[in-house]
Every structure is written in C-alpha cells, then in structure tokens.
Amino acid sequence: MKIIFETTTNTLVLSSGLDSPITRLQAIRGSGETITLELLRDGVRWQAPSEDFIFAAKPPGVYSGAALASADTWVYDVATGYYEAAITYEEAALNELLLVGASAENAAVKLQAQFAWKRPGLGDWRRSQKVELEIQNNVWRGDEDASALPSASLLRPSVRSITTDVINNNAVANTLANVTGLSFPVQAGKRYKFEFLIPYTAAATSTGSRWSINGPTNNLLAYRSTYALTAASDTVNFASAYDLPAACNATSLAAGNVAIIAGVISATADGDVIARFASEISGSAITAKAGASVTFCELP
C-alpha cells in the first residue's frame, strides 16, 4: 500500500490504485504488508527532519485504546525518497470483528484510519483527515501457530475497474499503450493469480488489436490472452513474458469485443501489473471501455 501525504495541509492525497483524493485504503491481514509513504511539502517531495510518523486505524467512532492496525517504525530509503513501515495488527480484536473461528467468517472489516506526524519544535501531533481502511480476511487466521492453506471462505479476490474510456489511436501502428488505471499491485516474493476483463470498441472492423500486460520483474509469469477477431472467432495467445504478442490481429467487431488476460505471476520486485493494448492501424482508435476490470488474489 502506497500513500502520499501533503505535510502543508495534512492531507492524504493519493493511494496507489485509487483516485485522488483518497477515501479508502486496503490491506490484507496476516500478509506482512507494508506502507510506502511519500511526503510532500508544497507539492514537492520532502524529507522530514525526523521520523515521527504514525498510521493508525480503529473501528469507526472509537478514538481511545489500542489501534487495531498501525505502523509507526519507519525506514527512509535515500535512493527512492520513500519511507516504509510494516503494518502490525491486533489479531485478537480483529478476530472478533472478522468472526474468525465462528460458524461464519467475515470477508473484511472496515476501520477508520488516520495518519499523524510531528515535527521537532512544533508541539502537538498534526493529523490527516480520516479515511476508511478495509482489512481483508483472505490470507491466514491470525491465531494459527503456523501458516496453513486458507479455507475457501478466506480466498476472496479483490477487483478494480476503470470509470472512463481509454483510447489508443497512436499515429504509429501497433504501438502499445497502458490501459490507464487498470492495474493491480504486487510485492516481491509473493504469487498472484489475475484476470483482466476488458470490453472494447474499434473505429472500424478492419482495425485489429492486441492485448497484453506489463509489470515488475518476476521468476514466474504465465498468462493467456484472448480477444475478438470476428463475431464467431477470436485470437488466442499463451505467453511467459511481457508485451506479447508482438503483432496485432487483423480485424475486430465495431462493438461487443472483449479481451481477457488471465494468468499467474510470482514477483521479484514490488510494482504494478497493468493491462496494455495497441491498434493495428495508425490513427484508428481501439477504445478500452469504462467498466473494464481486473480481479486478483494473492496465493498461499
């Protein structure tokens, strides 16, 4: 989870994968997830003179007592200019809210989160606006002695979608472009399964397309892409590297096209896996439509 904090206005201005300003954050209990923090001052990246930062989340309306999720030990990376801290959880209290061990288990719990920081000589802590932190219960129970395969009720995927069309009508044919906003985050050392489902239109039925993905380094990548060729046929590819296939197909439907990209990735670096597409004909638009989505899940 990455957040950007503007220190002049005490505002959380961005979270990776969500629109600005943020209203909601997501974390996965038991995953060892970290927060990557970028500090701004008057809109410019800034290194604070101290590391007095606290991220804390409690049930809505509760402002006293221990936080159910928090991060307060931050390490500054000089090379990137980012701070990083591990999220810690009050497992017993979360188990109660998530009904872990009961006959039914909640998929997630929503808490109220706030970021606070303190500069030397400024006295009181300064706090950001409150936002929602959703802690997903899709990894392991916190009260287990050792990690075990989760029960089926805990394997609930996350879904992200775009709300505006993304157009590729590049003047150079077969030029890949990102489907802006249609991505999901991965962390080094973790495995994920995913499926992009992308409705699209073509400016002409004689304009083909290609659909692929890009992302961080990995030691396993295997995916299948399929997208329309005619009303009764499609193009199918199997790939183990990014930005494949190298060429577009030759035709599309004017409307009713769907691209599906599904597979597995084992990341060796943090980053985002994002959908990409190209038009076969220069200046002839292929348009990824609002409502395109990606469904993803971290694997045990």
Query: Beta 191-202 vs 286-288: how paired, if at all?
Result: antiparallel
Closest CA to 75 of 66, 84, 65: 84
End-to-end CA distance of the chain: 19
CB half-sphere exposure, 42, CA atoms < 13 A = 0
Q: Domain check: are 91 and 133 in the same one?
A: yes
Q: Domain check: are 193 and 116 in the same one?
A: no
Q: Domain check: are 138 and 162 in the same one?
A: no
Q: Which of 143, 171, 202 is the last residue of a domain?
A: 143
Distance, CA of 290 to CA of 237 (rounded, Å) = 24
Find the helix or strand (DSSP H, E) in which 92 lies. Answer: helix 91-98
pLDDT band for position 16 (cuts 50, 70, 90): low
Q: Looking at the domain assignment, is residue 295 inside a domain? A: yes
Q: Looking at the domain assignment, is residue 37 inside a domain? A: yes
Q: Looking at the domain assignment, is residue 152 inside a domain? A: no
pLDDT digits (tens, 9 = 90+) for 129-168: 888 888 876 543 333 333 333 333 334 577 888 999 999 9
pLDDT digits (tens, 9 = 90+) for 39-98: 888 888 888 877 788 888 888 766 566 788 888 888 888 888 889 988 888 877 877 777
Q: Domain check: are 167 and 285 in the same one?
A: yes
Q: Domain check: are 33 and 133 in the same one?
A: yes
Domain count, the chain: 2
Cα 22-159-23 angle, rounded to 5 deg:
15
Average pLDDT, the chain: 83
Q: Looking at the domain assignment, is residue 30 inside a domain? A: yes
CATH of the domain at 70: 2.60.40
Number of H helices, E strands in the chain: 1, 24
Q: Looking at the domain assignment, is residue 151 inside a domain? A: no
Q: Looking at the domain assignment, is residue 260 inside a domain? A: yes
- For residue 293, give every residue at least 6 positions away whose Cβ sits within 8 Å of its Cβ, in sequence order, or none: 159, 160, 161, 162, 182, 196, 197, 198
Domain that holds residue 61: 2-143
Distance, CA of 17 to CA of 262 (rounded, Å) = 19
By the 8 A CB rule, do 138 and 298 touch?
A: yes
CATH of the domain at 233: 2.60.120
